[in-house]
Structure 1
Amino acid sequence: MGAFKEPHGGRLKELYLNEAQADQEKAKATDYPSWDLTQRQQCDLDLLMNGAFSPLEGFLGQEDYESVCERMRLADGVLWPMPITLDVSEAFAEGVGPGDRIALRDPEGVLLATLEVTDLWRPDKSQEAEKVFGTTDLRHPGVDYLMNRAGPVYLGGRVHGIEPPTYYDFKLLRDTPSELRGRFRKLGWRKVVAFQTRNPLHRAHQELTFRAARETEANLLIHPVVGMTKPGDVDHFTRVRCYEHVLEQYPDQTTQLSLLNLAMRMAGPREAMWHAIIRKNYGCTHFIVGRDHAGPGVDSNGEPFYGPYDAQDLFREHEEELDITMVPFRNMVYLENRAEYVPEDDVDPGDSVLNLSGTEFRRRLHEGLDIPEWFSYPKVVEELRRAHPPRHEQGFTVFFTGLSGSGKSTIANALLVKLLEDGSRPVTLLDGDVVRKNLSSELTFSKEHRDLNIQRIGFVASEITKNGGIAICAPIAPYAATRRQVRETISPVGGFIEIFVSTPIEICEQRDRKGLYAKARAGLIKGFTGIDDPYEVPENAEIVINTTELTPDLAAHRILITLEKLGYVK
């Protein structure tokens, strides 16, 4: 079978058992090994079970996985560009093998499906990253997830669906492929153009999608992703409220809004084709492919990961086989003299083009500045301002990192007093030793437990930040990947300022009141940071402080000035 060519509205591969079978499988599953799904795995399982990932019948086995990575096709030749795999820990993998069944559960322990394991293997993740994402650069969020979060072992096999995940938000907007196809049939929509987005919609997007629907003589499906998107994106609750406001701008009975529980990989050209296959499964006939579609931005050298039209070029190569028509994104610009949006290539030499970049828009939002109505709708701006207030009203985290004895705790305490003196927000200090005593007393100093300790600190700090407070964290935090995870946890809900206390190790040893360095050098303490365990120096810390050059008071004052410059403190 060489081509994925189902007719519009063709049969979906839904993976749910019938009621009797599900009851039997539930009873048996009490004896199966249980795997608690990650957020991404739960998104993938949801779309596998409801048919959005047709023609897949489960998580890919090794042969299909390798074929998809190498040539964007399943082993039998069917076009499929994205590896859908179930990654697990080494410990879990030791207890299962081909022929076993495992229970797949949500974080609360609810049984969603069982997996009939056919394959178990340890992938070459560097090769997967290079093939799927075209890079091994950890600045790419898909690569970072693969290398630093995904488990080391993959399980493949057929999925037997028990029940869908439970979502309590926007229930009327969450449709399965069969439900959305049924609605299209009921409405008499024979041609449907889908618009994929992970961002709020502004006036240019409304104009673009309206024109795309009009030019293709199709109805419009606004189909935003509400599963996992790029770290730092606007939360989906805010975005959906914005979409509902923008929906008012389309002619009645022409446009539908439906939410897609997809975990994006930000894989650019491959992802564009994947998105198209998914939308075809939802009953769409046309799909808008944007400039740098599903691109994650720039790499470590400041260069874009993908060319602006790579996704359109790859889509065009496979358009006939995909059996869904591409509508290329045309960049829309606002002409002041005509008071309207037009495609960029329709601008005349005498036209006055107004432009507001995404960076400038976010700056104005963060600083509470005016946003012109030609750029966005007042109701959308109001929602975004409510969710993302000016920086001086946001919570934030100040995250110290450095060797033991570098002066982190002393500076953190000085900063705590200065911020309490300011009194604009509640302030909490999460000192490394104090957290170890009260929150992580059962943990050892193994790498796994050190990471877990920092993740706990990051979680508590994110909750403080999300609720408008200030969290000051002062652990050693020796590993770059864990610090990056904490940043990614906190950044979507408020500010994150990393401070590297770069005091040389010789000075740290001289200050060592507890004699820990001496014990480590004598071999009495194993795995001590800076002696026989590495400290990975931050490369992008917002502030670097060497306490041989600054007193704690001056260091705290310098941090306070930086917070003022960044707009977090007035």
Structure 2
Amino acid sequence: MSQLIAPHGGHLVDLLVPEAERDALKHEAAGLPGWDLSPRQLCDLELLMTGAFSPLQGFLGRADYESVCRDLRLADGQLWPMPITLDVSSEFADKVAGAPRIALRDPEGVTLAVLEIADRWQPDREAEAQAVFGTTDRLHAGVSWLLDKAGPVYLGGRIRGLTLPPHYDFRHLRLTPREVRAQFDKRGWRRVVAFQTRNPMHRAHLELTFRAAQIAEANLLIHPSVGMTKPGDIDHYTRVRCYEKLIAHYPEQTSMLSLLHLAMRMGGPREALWHAIIRKNHGCSHFIVGRDHAGPGNGADGQPFYGPYEAQELVALHQQELGIQMVPFQEMLYVQERAQYAPADEIRPGETVLNISGTELRRRLHEGLDIPEWFTYPEVVSELRRTHPARHKQGFTVFFTGLSGAGKSTLANALMVRLLELGTRPVTLLDGDVVRKHLSSELGFSREHRNLNVQRIGFVASEITKNGGIAICAPIAPYAEARRQVREMIAQYGLFVETHIATPLEVCEERDRKGLYALARAGKLKEFTGISDPYETPESPELRIDTSEMNPDEAVQRIVLKLESLGLIRPRD
């Protein structure tokens, strides 16, 4: 394992084995137990192998992990604020107990690297969340991932890299730290200020970055994260097209765009410190830290997880040893009287400030409303509208859930006909019984199999939603966790309208045309929802309908009115 010394940013750890050794390592890896990397782990492995995470030489072992969580430092004292860990299932951990090495594979089964296992342990993930993010509130995206999605066992050790994960998009912009440094040398750039973003850039961002470059007397690297960001963020394809449009508005030969395949943790102050180290490794001399850097929004108490300038304070605290200089910035606001942007602390008494928040921008996109030129450039708006059309043109999912006999299939079929009459989008009905026949015929009715069936329905619905269609789902879906997973799966593409058919159990039994409830009461039908297996009532669905209190036409009309109120259909469509 070698270290490369470059004129920008100091040492880069190189975890790719020399080419002459790769065939032998590939042959060895073919006989090793293999772990299929998650999307987040793929991001981490790529940045480990390219040296973006220097000085790390692999996934953290236990001593480094505990030191990072406690002190923002590796066990040897080097500054490093974010745990980079390989989480695996208990089953896999037991399978490889005692194994010295495992192969790390991409989703297609290609071995990317070999991990030399040095540590194996079960972390206290709630303690990790509290230490790293300062909270255990699952509304924090990083906490939610850690507590609900991460595997229970961590494996730590050195990485021996074979090949980087392949990318087929924007290849000319996907530069490793060494390649970015080489570009700086080629252009003669010695002072470079980096700008981190996970959102589209607008005129306020242009003004902020232009001013920061002037203050630092430096050139500019626009360095957006295009790995995993916050759920609900605009997809990176749209964002990169927006960046390419925006960069044309900077003076020639002053700015450069490169993509960073980073899985963000939304860790606020710690994340800002981490981002600064990553940009130092790319050869930058300065790094912009703005207001609420990498903030995840508000918690369950309605308050932001971090103060607006906590990130700047933490970076400033470690400024001397960072090896990169922070350029702090306040929020940029448009001053109507000046017809220009200014930092928040430079607004004069009596001046009219105009601003469009991210929430307001999404509302205007969803409703097809005007977005003024003072906020962003027309060509950027055009790109956003291409992939984020008005809500009445987007796909969505109506997800019925309720007991057998509650009326889900009846309402789903009636709603499908009403939406087909409108003719605005393709409509697909995913009825529970029909899906079991065609997609899940091998499944039983255990909790695990029920959840798997619901996940399959959710996956198909997400594809329909993503492609602008309407999915109507009508499974029983008795478990809250499975419904939550489906909501997350679909919400990244369009609205998820959970509709609880809350017909009482006794009414469902009276309607029991198939005699299923009688069989369940007699003990002849096991694991029957509502009798021998629980139904977890939705706490806050978008709609709750009791079909014992209204006929199908009235119920469907109520659903249609709800879809109209959400902007998904128009009254005259």
Q: Deviations over 1:264-291 (max 9, x none)?
A: 1111111111111111111111111121
- Cross-structure match for 1:235: 235
Aligned partners of 2:398 and 2:471 also within 8 Å? yes
Q: SS of 1:498's equivalent?
A: strand
Contact 1:99 1:118 in 2 (8 A): no
Secondary structure of the structure 1 residue equivalent to 2:488 = helix
| Residues 9, 285 of structure 2: 8 Å contact kept | no
Q: Name which of structure 1's ranges 413-422 and 316-325 shifts more when overlaid on structure 2.
A: 316-325
Aligned to 1:259: 259
Distance 1:69 1:532 in 2: 45
- Separation in structure 2 between the aligned mates of residue 497 and residue 386 of structure 1, nearest angstrom: 24
Give the drift of 1:526.
4.5
Q: Is the 8 A contact 1:29 1:114 kept in 2?
A: yes
* 3-state SS in 1 of match to 2:318: helix
The one-character-per-residue Cα deviations of 1:347-387 (angstroms, maximum 9, x if unpaired) are 22232222222222211111111111000100000000011
Deviations 1:308-365 (A, max 9, x none): 1221122222222222211112211111221111111212223222222222221111
Shift in Å, 1:533: 4.1
Amino acid corresponding to residue 398 of structure 1 in structure 2: V
Indicate the residue corresponding to 1:554 in structure 2. 554
Mapping 1:25-174, distance limit 5 Å: 25-174=25-174
* Aligned counterparts of 1:368 and 1:245: Cα–Cα separation in 2: 21
Report the counterpart of residue 23 of structure 1 in structure 2: 23
Q: Distance in 1 between matches of 2:256 and 2:58?
A: 29
Inter-partner Cα distance in structure 1 for 2:118 and 2:531 = 45
Q: CA deviation at 1:524?
A: 4.5
Q: 1:438 to 1:157 in 2, by over 3 A?
A: same
Indicate how the Cα distance of structure 1 residues 211 and 548 shifts in structure 2: closer, same or farther if over 3 A, else same: same
In structure 2, do the counterparts of structure 1 residues 274 and 444 end up closer, same or farther at CA, with 3 Å as the change threshold? farther
Residue 9 of structure 2 contacts residue 323 of structure 2 at CA under 8 Å; is this kept in 1? Answer: no
Read off the aligned partner of 2:89 and give its amino acid letter.
S
How far apart, CA to CA, are the structure 1 residues paired with 2:529 and 2:119?
39
Q: Is the 8 A contact 1:191 1:286 kept in 2?
A: yes
Q: TM-score with structure 2 length normalisation? A: 0.95
* Number of the residue aligned with 2:496: 496
Cα separation, 2, equivalents of 1:126 and 1:400: 33
Q: In 2 relative to 1, CA 416–252 (structure 1 residues): closer, same or farther, beyond 3 Å?
A: same
Provide Cα deviations, 1:394-450, integer angstroms capped at 9, x if missing partner.
111111222333222221111111111211111001111211111112223333333
Matched residue type, 1:292: D
Structure 2 SS opposite 1:503: coil
Unaligned runs of 5+ in 1: 1-5
SS in 1 for 2:284: coil
Counterpart residue identity of residue 249, structure 1 = H
CA 1:98/1:566 → structure 2, altered by over 3 Å: closer, same or farther? same
Matches within 5 A, 1:95-494: 95-494=95-494
Question: Would the aligned equivalents of 2:8 and 2:282 in 1 still touch at CA under 8 Å?
Answer: no
Spell out, residue by residue over 1:149-206, the C-alpha distance to the aligned partner (whole angstroms, 9 max, x if none).
2222211111110000110000010010111111112222111111110100000010
CA distance in structure 1 between the partners assigned to 2:325 and 2:536 by the alignment = 48
Cα separation, 2, equivalents of 1:47 and 1:404: 49
Q: SS of the residue aligned with 1:79?
A: coil
Q: Provide the rounded CA distance (Å) in 1 between the counterparts of 2:395 and 2:408.
A: 21
Q: Between the two proteins, what is the percent identity of the paired residues?
A: 68
Distance 1:57 1:515, change over 3 A: farther
Distance 1:303 1:481, change over 3 A: farther
TM-aligned CA deviation for residue 548 of structure 1: 2.5
Q: Judge conservation of contact 1:98–1:120 (CA < 8 Å) in 2.
A: no
Amino acid at match of 1:258: S
Closer, same or farther in 2 for the Cα pair 1:441/1:340, shift >3 Å?
same
Alpha-carbon RMSD: 1.9
Q: Secondary structure at the match of 2:23?
A: helix
Structure 1 Cα separation of the partners of residues 172 and 433 of structure 2: 48
Q: State the TM-score, normalized to the length of structure 1.
A: 0.95
Inter-CA distance 318–33: structure 2 relative to 1 (3 Å threshold) = same
**Aligned mates of 1:291, 1:9 — CA distance in 2:** 25
Confirm or deny that 1:569 pairs with 2:563.
no
User: Is contact 2:9–2:281 with CA below 8 Å preserved after alignment?
Assistant: yes
